[in-house]
Structure 1
Amino acid sequence: MIRNVALALLLAGPAGAETIPEPSNYRGEPYRAPVPATLTGAEVIGIDEALALHDAGQAAFVDVMPRKARPEGLPEGTIWNEPLHQTIPGAIWLFDTGYQALAPAEEARLRDGLTRAQGGDADRPLVLFCRSECWMSWNAARRAVAWGFDPVIWFPGGTDAWTEAGRPLVMAEPVAP
């Protein structure tokens, strides 16, 4: 019996090789979970393509990783320092814009930030990312497609793939709300 289970596992392919279908709407919790290999209306790239685009300066890189909020219930007078966020060099950090549902401020931050990232060139590719296996970048890229931005490129490996490729990250400054 164990031999049959081992054979079945070998034939099934590598772990995580299951196909994740694109949902019909934006994805909610849990945001850190396996993601689809596709995003209708967008190009999906791996680390080699991301490095080439970045090194050539041919695209705007947009980080949608959430910003850490001050924990609720801290005693009065407690000093809280927001954790630093690291991102791909040259990327803009449009924090909190990858959730399933966006408040008007986050929606405006994403839409306006994408427009600014293109720098007046509506044909400049937008590369959206966060971390690997993170639905936030999928959601934000899907919104960009729905709003008519083109070309939209989704980089699902994000900062994890970036560092695994031996590339450094830099400290990010959030785009003002």
Structure 2
Amino acid sequence: MAGRGMIGVLLAGLLAGAMSATAQETLFDAAGYRIAHYRAPVDRAPEGTSRIAPAAAARLRPDVDALFVDVTPAEGAVRDASGQWRLAQPHDSIPGAHWYPEAGRGVLAPGIGDWFGRGMARLTAKRRDRMIVIFCLADCWMSWNAAKRLRTWGYRNIWWLAEGSDGWRDLDLPLAPARPEP
């Protein structure tokens, strides 16, 4: 009987491990974008990008030294067919940042990728070497995804602010009301 109990424990352990591996695999799609559980620790910058500390980002002037891009989702918001956003609640961001809600999802809703791509081309004047600081919140994979996406699109000077607007606020720097980019 003791042998059967031990086999049951081993089988249960193997099954739990297999289920854990399966759950982990579904966190990312085949291209490497995080597609679920976006609020979780992120341990590295996406390949081809660099991480910037909040204090270093604070020394930059938005739209002068670098383009600041916020990809925090707009909780409860709706984007209508014309591309206009109806927000359920206000959003505060780093002053001077350009807000592209939902552009950090692993799988983008219809129209979001085109809107984000056109906006980035406009804001950078199609310069792929323009310095871009991309952020969301602390422990948020959406900014990681957006940085990876920009790199895939050929942008070469991407800086990932892992601490996001939370890290900015932690430095006692002000946040300002933001509206989604047109």
TM-score (normalised: structure 1): 0.75
SS at match of 1:53: coil
Residue 90 (str. 1) matches residue 96 (str. 2)? yes
Counterpart residue number, 1:74: none
- In 1: Cα distance, 2:119 partner to 2:137 partner: 19
SS at match of 2:61: helix
**4+ runs of 1 displaced by more than 4 Å?**
none
Instruction: State which structure, 1 or 2, has the greater radius of gyration over its C-alpha atoms.
Output: 2
2:42 to 23, 35, 60: 35
Counterpart residue number, 1:51: 58
2:167 to 148, 161, 172: 161
What is the Cα deviation at residue 81 of structure 1? 6.6
Which has the higher mean CA deviation after the structures are superposed, 94-103 or 56-65?
56-65
Is the CA contact (8 Å cut-off) linking 2:66 and 2:130 kept in structure 1?
yes
What amino acid maps onto 2:176 in structure 1?
V
Residue 101 (str. 1) matches residue 107 (str. 2)? yes
Is the CA contact (8 Å cut-off) linking 1:31 and 1:136 kept in structure 2?
yes
Is the CA contact (8 Å cut-off) linking 2:94 and 2:165 kept in structure 1?
yes
| Residues 28 and 92 of structure 1, relative CA distance in 2, 3 Å threshold | same
Is the CA contact (8 Å cut-off) linking 1:117 and 1:126 kept in structure 2?
no
Residue 62 (str. 1) matches residue 39 (str. 2)? no
Counterpart residue number, 1:170: 176
| Residues 124 and 70 of structure 1, relative CA distance in 2, 3 Å threshold | closer
What is the Cα deviation at residue 54 of structure 1? 3.1
| Residues 157 and 90 of structure 1, relative CA distance in 2, 3 Å threshold | same
Query: How many aligned positions are there?
Result: 146
What amino acid maps onto 2:116 in structure 1?
L
Is the CA contact (8 Å cut-off) linking 1:58 and 1:124 kept in structure 2?
no
- In 1: Cα distance, 2:176 partner to 2:152 partner: 30
Counterpart residue number, 2:15: none
SS at match of 1:57: coil
What amino acid maps onto 1:40 in structure 2?
E
What amino acid maps onto 1:98 in structure 2?
G
Deviation digits for residues 62-99 of structure 1, max 9, x if unmatched? 0001112259xxxxxxxx97200000000000111111
Q: CA RMSD in A?
A: 2.2
| % same residue | 36
Deviation digits for residues 17-65 of structure 1, max 9, x if unmatched? xxxxxx7600022100000222210111111221122379310000001
- In 2: Cα distance, 1:63 partner to 1:43 partner: 16
SS at match of 1:163: helix
SS at match of 1:115: helix
Is the CA contact (8 Å cut-off) linking 1:66 and 1:96 kept in structure 2?
yes
Q: Matches of residues 107-122 of structure 1 in structure 2 within 5 Å?
A: 107-119=113-125, 121-122=127-128
SS at match of 1:62: strand
TM-score (normalised: structure 2): 0.73
1:133 to 136, 139, 151: 139
